[in-house]
Structure 1
């Protein structure tokens, strides 16, 4: 584990890049188009990539602990979004209007047209793909939660070894 902690910024960089690569491959190679929450889950990975690159470049001057803590926060954010997304997919709670559209009764043809036009193309409550009963949002939740804990523990280790 010491090897991983010493190279934790590289681990965060590579795993975040792999997560985004997987998401873009699913979208552009396998035509699994993302819903709005899927898109939101990507942004923290991009943030982790930037933080990791900065941390690697500045590690001798500033240390790695702060950068790893920031990575832990970003991973926790995407895990939170992923967990919320899983809850919508499972019907545990409803998503926002941008997730599932307005399901209220239309009073006129114009209202109906407006509701249809505002409904997202890909709904957050539809599971586009799953493996062993776990959706992509579920895998994101699991992976990001593990990476958040790893980044946090690596940061603590770096503070302890100063």
Structure 2
């Protein structure tokens, strides 16, 4: 069975929508507010959903390739977030713990008071040893493949 351009676009953009529905479910039903990097992962999914609508209206390989780029972007951010969660590298100073050496008492107090409530280097949920960021990365890479398949069928 050969999937049509339209079907592939619906799968790709619908995949981003499904991932967003899952993220919103964790946020609002599961009461797990997102960290800064979680939000960053959402923006390319929003773009992919919009590109899906555009692809259905206009068609064309270019729009599908832009959708692939959006999915690849969120996969890259998710890979970065996974590394932060695993302690492979440091995340943005605004959402990870950082050292206190060399800070005055006032600077330390300011840092504590400005610290966000949700940290990027803590895993609030995981399944089969993979965090939400890791699952988002894998799902987004699958969406890249679907977008590319759509571009080839355009």
Instruction: Give the alignment's TM-score, normalised by structure 2.
Output: 0.92
Secondary structure, counterpart of 2:76 in structure 1 = helix
Partner of 2:56: 56
Partner of 2:113: 117
Distance in 1, matches of 2:136 and 2:103, equals 39
Superposed, which structure 2 residues align to 1:24-103 within 5 Å?
24-59=24-59, 64-103=60-99
Instruction: Give the alignment's TM-score, normalised by structure 1.
Output: 0.88
Partner of 1:10: 10
Distance in 2, matches of 1:102 and 1:86, equals 18
Count of aligned pairs: 154
Deviations 1:103-140 (A, max 9, x none): 23264331111110222211111000001100000000
Deviation at 1:15, TM superposition (A): 1.0
Deviation at 1:98, TM superposition (A): 1.8
Distance in 2, matches of 1:45 and 1:113, equals 37
Deviation at 1:16, TM superposition (A): 1.2
Structure 2: stretches of 5+ with no match in the other structure: none
Q: Highest relative contact order (Cα 8 Å, sep 6+), 1 or 2? A: 2
Which segment is superposed worse, 11-20 or 69-78? Answer: 11-20
Matched-pair contact (CA < 8 Å) for 1:44–1:78: yes
Partner of 1:131: 127
Distance in 2, matches of 1:129 and 1:76, equals 23
Distance in 2, matches of 1:99 and 1:150, equals 33
Structure 1: stretches of 5+ with no match in the other structure: none
* Structure 1 stretches of at least 4 aligned residues deviating more than 3 Å after TM superposition: none
Describe the shift of the 1:107–1:52 C-alpha distance in structure 2 as closer, same or farther (beyond 3 A): closer
Distance in 1, matches of 2:3 and 2:145, equals 16
